[in-house]
Structures are given as structure tokens and as C-alpha cells.
Structure 1
């Protein structure tokens, strides 16, 4: 029974991310409805994989939500903020995990949005990491500049892996899209979870406490 409840929470969290994704996708698709956008099926599949990945990152990092603000208030604990790079205890495993976490982002971005270069991948990695770190001001997790640096590095590593693989396969499938599309998707999914996902509210119902 406990496992079912846990899966219920995860399913609820996933829907709070995927529903905004599909709404955004339909709106963006409507923009290109008159265009002959090639590989529509491929585009949808990879965008969905991207959305599931974004959900995984938000879930794993425990990004803050509106309901965290209601629970903890807007009081920011200075002890939970680190703005000096690599000034604390060095945890190699945690550092490596932070890099690995954002490697798929750096790989998927140029794969889906084919004209994106390494600098745009760096910007999107930084943007997503900043969203997560700022949201963690609203819950009990630490907002750490180390995470920001390592996440951004992970996005660059992912981009380099994509370029290496692309050279081997010599493939470059072009798709039609808005230049800021990745930002729109990430923002929509982040805000969906921020406003919809009430973890403790559902937990109270499921576990009756």
C-alpha cells in the first residue's frame, strides 16, 4: 500500500510537469501548422523525452514550489546559502552527480533544436540551474553556487558528447522551431510544477496525517 501511495505522489508530480509541456507543445505546434515541419513524429518523441528528463531533474533536486512558501514562509536562512565557490567540504561523489545530472540536457538541446551551439547550451544549462537553485530558497534544501557551476559544466559536457557522436554518424536532421523554444518549454514545466505540485497536501490525504 505504501508503494502505491508513493507512486501516486510521483504520478501527481509528473502530471504537474507533463501537462504544461503538452499544452505548450500544442500551442507551439499551432504556430507552425501552416509550415511543412519535417519529422513531426521524431520531434514529438524527442520533445517528450526532454520533458520526462526535465521532470526527473526537478524531482531529483527537489525544486521548491508555491506550497513550500506557504509551509515555510518567505524567510531565507543564510546558513542554507553558499555564494563562495568550492568553499565547503569537497564531496567528489556529489560533484560528479551534479555534472552527470545535466549531461542529458546538453545532449538533448542540440539534438532537438539543431542550430543551437555550445554557447546557447551553456546559457540554457545556467538558466535551468538558476531556476532550481532559486526555488530551493523556498524549501529546506541548500542553494549552492557549486551546484550551479557543476550543472552548467555538465550541460557543456553533454553538448561535447553530442558533437562527437554527430561527427561519427554524420547526421544533422533539421527541424523547424522557434529560437527560444527550449526556454519556453523549461519555463512552462518548471512553473507547472511550482504552482500545481502540492506534495504535502496530497501526502496528508494519502497517508492520513
Structure 2
């Protein structure tokens, strides 16, 4: 199981690291734009944004990579990779909610618990950051927003998977949305257990300046960017 986890982490880093590099390249322009608006941002908050971007692009990389198969072809080129053809319009498409859980139970009874557990937990885990980081970094955190982020991202992924010859499954959308909600619940847990840690990633606007959040000043309007 650890080997499979490391494999997917490597696939995620292929897109996550370049995304972080691009963000860092544009950071001076972002800093100047914030200064032009009379705002500043903390290093801790910027690191949180980078981690969020890395998680987002990592999820897109591991879920939208096309399915290939190897064909042994004679001649100079040897084995070549071909995009798998979809036999019919509705092949590898499931639009019936909760059908996957029946398949999970069937796999478990046949002794295929490892891959069943990996698929189930993986669909949850990869979307936990999509519920956690928006709640941590942006104003107005609530479970509905986290659910909407998870649902919308998962829906786009599942539609995209259809065109790269992968499985499109409504149950994946359900699990991904639940994973985003788990991320929001993790934020709530940390906000109760370590409120000061959470506050260091949030911001407060005072007289047109963005600073570390140490609590709203009496009588002053405060909002998180």
C-alpha cells in the first residue's frame, strides 16, 4: 500500500512543483500589486497559498492523466504508447449514485480489499486540502463553501476524465465532496485546538492594510482577503 501511495504522490508532484515555481515567479508582481492597493501579506499566508495551489494542481494531475496501453510494434520504435479507445459512448460511465458501494462490497467478499480501500480512501484524501485551505485562507469559511468547492472541482474532473478515456463516476463526485467536507471539519478541529495557529494564516484589513490577524479592533471594520 505504501508503494501505491508513493506512486500517486510522485504523480502529483509532477504538476504541483511547477505550479509552485510559477507562483513564486509571479510573487514580486503580486507583492507590488498589493502595495499599490495599500495592502501587505505575511510569509506564512503566502506559504499557505503555495501549498493550496500545489494540492490543487496535484489533484488535477493525478486525476486527468490519460490512460495509455503499450503495443509491441516491430521496427525502429519498439513499444509505443497508444491512447485507449472508448468502446462506446457509455462505457466506463456510471451515473447511478451509490452504485460503487455495491461494487466495493463485492470486491471485499472476493478478497480484493486492498485496492477497494485504496480507491475509497484515495477519493476522500485527495480532496481534503480543497476543503481545508480555502477555510484556512479566505473569509467566510463554512461547510457549504467547502462542499461547493469539492463538488465543483470533482465534477470538472469527472467530465474531463471522460475525454481522456478514464472512468467517469458520480460516486467519485460524492466521495470527493465528502473529502472536501472532511477538510473543513479538520479546519474546525484545529481552530478549536490551536486557534493561534489558525489566526496566523488569516488576515485583517485595517485602514487599507492587510496584516496578521490578532483579533478585530473595537469599532473597526475587519475583513479577510
Give yes or no for TM over 0.5: yes
Q: What is the aligned counterpart of 2:52 among 50, 53, 70?
A: 50
Is the Cα–Cα contact under 8 Å of residues 37 and 176 in structure 1 kept in the other structure? no
Q: CA deviation at 1:168?
A: 1.5
Q: CA deviation at 1:170?
A: 2.2
TM-score by length of 1: 0.64
Q: Which runs of 4+ in 1 moved over 2 A?
A: 9-40, 71-77, 170-177
Q: What is the aligned counterpart of 2:203 among 175, 178, 201?
A: 175
Distance 1:96 1:79 in 2: 24
Aligned counterpart, 1:96 = 121
Deviates more, 1:27-36 or 1:50-59: 27-36
Shift in alpha-carbon separation, 1:10–1:43, aligned structure 2, 3 A? closer
Distance 1:22 1:103 in 2: 24
Larger Rg: 2
1:81 and 2:93 matched: yes
> Going by fraction, where is strand more abundant, 1 or 2?
2
Residues 117-156 of structure 1 aligned to structure 2 (within 5 Å): 117-156=142-181
Distance 2:88 2:35 in 1: 46
Q: Is there any run of 5+ residues in structure 2 with no aligned partner, and where? A: 1-10, 67-82, 106-115, 206-225
User: In the TM superposition, what whole-angstrom CA distance separates every residue of 1:11-69 from its partner, at most 9, and x where no partner exists?
Assistant: 764466446645776666555333454543122211111121122212222356xxxxx
> Going by fraction, where is helix more abundant, 1 or 2?
1
Distance 1:75 1:139 in 2: 13
Q: Is there any run of 5+ residues in structure 1 with no aligned partner, and where? A: 1-8, 65-70, 178-209
Is the Cα–Cα contact under 8 Å of residues 106 and 157 in structure 1 kept in the other structure? yes
Shift in alpha-carbon separation, 1:153–1:12, aligned structure 2, 3 A? closer
Higher relative contact order (CA 8 A, sep 6+): 1
Q: CA deviation at 1:134?
A: 1.1
CA RMSD of aligned residues (A): 3.5
